[in-house]
Chain A
Amino acid sequence: MFGNRFDNRYQTMYTKNGYLFGNDAEDGMGLIKGVLREELGNSLRLKDSYYKELKKRPGGSIVEKRIRGHKYYYLAFRDCGKVRFVYKGKTLSKEFLVEFEKSRRLRKRYKELVRQLNARIKYIRKALHGKENV
């Protein structure tokens, strides 16, 4: 079998099932912590990117109002706790509706993934520092 003679810090030996982190427990822990720190950094960066994407895409929903027998369309959304209506026109183009629907689906997906990332960040922080704040 090749790879049985890694010296000093190249202690990452392997088995059929995966890694055995070295002969020196401290080296192994250092390596694991390094991987976790990298993963924490990636997760935080990705979460930030999702927030930026969410800001770019409009939330809310399309509301139809009937005023004196005429139909008018508004985009309704919450802004600082208040519901705001932004006038969109008497008719809505097909392109607008397609783009709005796509945005809505993506926002939902991004929020789901941010929840996943939050859980991962919490888990990694706990693994790295116990109850300490990172």
Chain B
Amino acid sequence: MEKKTFNLSIEVLKRFERAGVLKHFIIIGSWSIYFYKHYFNAKSYSTFIRTMDIDFLIPIPSKFPDNVRIFDLLEDLGFIEEYKGSEGYMKISHPDLTVEFLVPERGRGHDEPYLIPQLSINAIPLRYLDFLVENTISISAEGLRIKLPHPAAYALHKFIIFKRRRNADKHDRDIEGALRVFQALMDHGDAAEVRRIFGKMHKKWQKTIIDNLRTIKEEDVISILEAR
């Protein structure tokens, strides 16, 4: 990752913390892989990520103490508001970084963005994100307290969704990231925790994971998940 993207991301996080909203957000996506170095504390863990997006998962319903206009926090850095697609999903863009917000999708699901008026933003509803909300960790990094999905939840979530990706690059990155985190979990001695989180999942989701892993011939991962 380029240094200017890193510095800009940290500045965004600092501004969110000062405004009192960071504690309500869970950082998901590739950035979690970077921040897991504070969880694994292992030299062998590679923090390499190739991304210019930072995704914030917002649990719903969320209560924010004050109304904060998120865009106002970032405008002077050169960010602009953009709305993508006919649905009008909002993203806050800069040449070095794109900030997006996501919420768990519930029920039948629909294409409309989820409005969060207290923050003057809309968020993209996506399937399976409740699973990440239910399994989080907090780490201290760059002088900030950051909430992330538990690495096991991160890897298992990616094992579910990689097959849903239409973009081949994202599909491959999902697999690579999930396997890298899974390897680090094993090196960290977290096999039991991985199995516990896997065991708590809906049976249908467990089956999807096993089937998906079979398509990429990751039998070793399957045997770890299915061990009793």
Contacts and interface: CB of A to CB of B under 8 A. Distances in A.
Interface of A: 1-3, 5-7, 9-12, 14, 16-19, 31, 34-35, 38, 43, 45-46, 49-50, 53, 105-106, 109-110, 112-113, 116-117, 120
Nearest to B43: A16
Nearest to B220: A2
30 contacts: A1-B183, A2-B182, A2-B218, A2-B220, A3-B175, A3-B180, A6-B175, A7-B216, A7-B217, A9-B168, A10-B171, A10-B172, A12-B173, A14-B46, A14-B48, A16-B44, A19-B50, A19-B176, A31-B168, A31-B169, A35-B169, A43-B95, A46-B82, A46-B95, A50-B80, A105-B76, A106-B78, A113-B94, A117-B95, A120-B95
Contacts of A14: 46, 48, 176, 180
B221 interface: yes
Interface of B: 44, 46, 48, 50, 75-78, 80, 82, 93-95, 168-169, 171-173, 175-176, 179-180, 182-183, 216-218, 220-221
Contacts, number: 79
A34 B175 contact: no
Given A10-B172, A18-B50, A113 B180 contact: no
Contacts of B95: 43, 46, 113, 116-117, 120
Contacts of A17: 46, 48
Interface of A is mostly: helix
Nearest to A5: B217
A35 to B, nearest CB: 6
Query: What are the 7 tightest A-B residue pairs by CB atom distance, in nearest-first order?
Result: A3-B179, A12-B172, A2-B179, A109-B78, A5-B217, A16-B46, A113-B78
Given A12-B173, A18-B48, A49 B168 contact: no
B176 to A, nearest CB: 5
Contacts of B44: 16
A53 B180 CA distance: 41
B93 A46 contact: yes
Contacts of A9: 168
